[in-house]
Amino acid sequence: MAARNPARRLPVHLTLVLLCLAWLVPVVGLLVSSVRTPYDISSSGWWHGLLPPYRFTVDNYTQVLTTGGLGRAFVNSLLITVPAVTVMTAVGSVAAYAFARMRFAGRRTVFILLIALLVVPAQMALAPVLRLYNTLHLAGTFPGIWLVHAGFAMPFAVYLLRNFMAGLPEEVFEQAAVDGASAPTVFLRIALPISAPALASFAIFQFLWVWNDLLLALIFLGGDPAVAPVTVSLSNLVNANTGQGWQLLTAAAFVSMAFPLLIFLTLQRYFVRGLLAGAVK
């Protein structure tokens, strides 16, 4: 029986390899296109760049980083993503703890109503929120986009973190209550440290989501280079009338994806731990 196990697992391994290739091929194509000349890109497919004679160049990266405004957009993306993820993680963890560990009137009803917002398309709220932002002069500002991202992510944050905190060992909280610990103390010194894998998983997921967002950035920030993130700057690289300049788009796209990819690869163990946490009790 044991001798037949490798053969039985072969279809699974083959499927995984094919899925990895399906994800890897576009990335390789993007990288190869980013180091090719405009003439080569327009005259042949990206796979020809892997064949001799090799004519690679870094001019696309040089032009993007020096004249494309990507440096300022990169800083703007950080100024948008880091505070937004911090706000949604902090507020979401407090709300999740309240729903999971505190008793108050209407708790179940409020939780169900909040989770029901997950099925409501975000596009339905864009127009009324934008009108409110124009009235409050929040449109085109960093605090405004922080609040938008945090508001749209809150139902998912509460759902994910509440389920994790509800599965924490009850004995720990009972012992803390016997010792006379207050609710804020229990939250800060017990619930948060134990929930670190779930918090890290949520923060990484939302970091990638906010960093790659284009729709909310266009609507609530506009095209002002002073506040425009990387995604908005990328959309402006290609000439809408002639289609020229898309070789710069490949270089800029690879630069923009390098940072979140580095974050994910560095913190992937926390992401996996957060996804698997609570699966086995």
| Element spanning 246, H or E | helix 246-276
277: helix, strand or coil? coil
Angle at 75 (CA atoms; ends 69, 80), nearest 5 degrees: 120
pLDDT digits (tens, 9 = 90+) for 93-136: 999 998 888 888 888 899 888 888 888 888 888 889 999 999 99
d(CA 258, CA 261) in angstroms, rounded, equals 5
Residue 210's pLDDT band, with cuts at 50, 70 and 90, is: very high
Contact 207, 85 (CB under 8 A): yes
Residue 254: HSE in the Cβ half-sphere, 13 Å Cα cutoff: 21
Mean pLDDT taken over the chain: 83
Q: What does the block give as tokens for 33?
A: 């296109």
Residue that wins the pLDDT comparison between 279 and 213: 213
The phi and psi torsions of 53 (rounded to 5 degrees) equal: -80, 140
Residue 2: per-residue pLDDT: 47
CA distances from 69 to 17, 34, 125, 239 (A): 38, 17, 31, 15
pLDDT tens readout for residues 6-41? 677 788 888 888 998 888 888 888 888 888 888 888
| Short-list 171, 148, 117, 160, CA closest to 281 | 171
Determine the pLDDT at residue 1.
44
Q: Give residue 33's pLDDT.
A: 86
Report the C-alpha gap between 74 and 11 in whole angstroms.
42
Cα–Cα distance, 215 to 255 (Å, whole number): 20
Stretch 209-238: mean pLDDT:
85
**Given this model, what pLDDT does residue 240 score?**
46
Token reading at 280: 């086995």
pLDDT tens per residue across span 147-182: 999 999 999 899 888 888 888 888 888 888 888 888
Please name the residue that has the structure tokens 């706000």: 87
pLDDT over threshold 80, residue 204: yes
Q: Measured in Å, how far apart are the chain's first and last C-alpha atoms?
A: 31
pLDDT surpasses 80 at 216: yes
Angstrom distance (rounded) from CA 99 to CA 149: 22
- Asked if residue 229 lies in contact with residue 149, where contact means CB atoms within 8 angstroms, the answer is no
Number of Cβ within a 10 Å radius of residue 230? 29
- Residue type present at position 256: S
pLDDT of 261 higher than 70:
yes
Token duo for residue 184: 């804020």
**Helix or strand run (H / E) with residue 274:** helix 246-276
b (16+ CB within 10 A) / e for 145-166:
bbbbbbbbbbbbbbbbbbebbe
Model confidence at 278, pLDDT cuts 50, 70, 90, reads very low
DSSP 124-173: HHHHHHHHHHHHHT-TTSHHHHHHHHHHHHHHHHHHHHHHHHHTS-HHHH
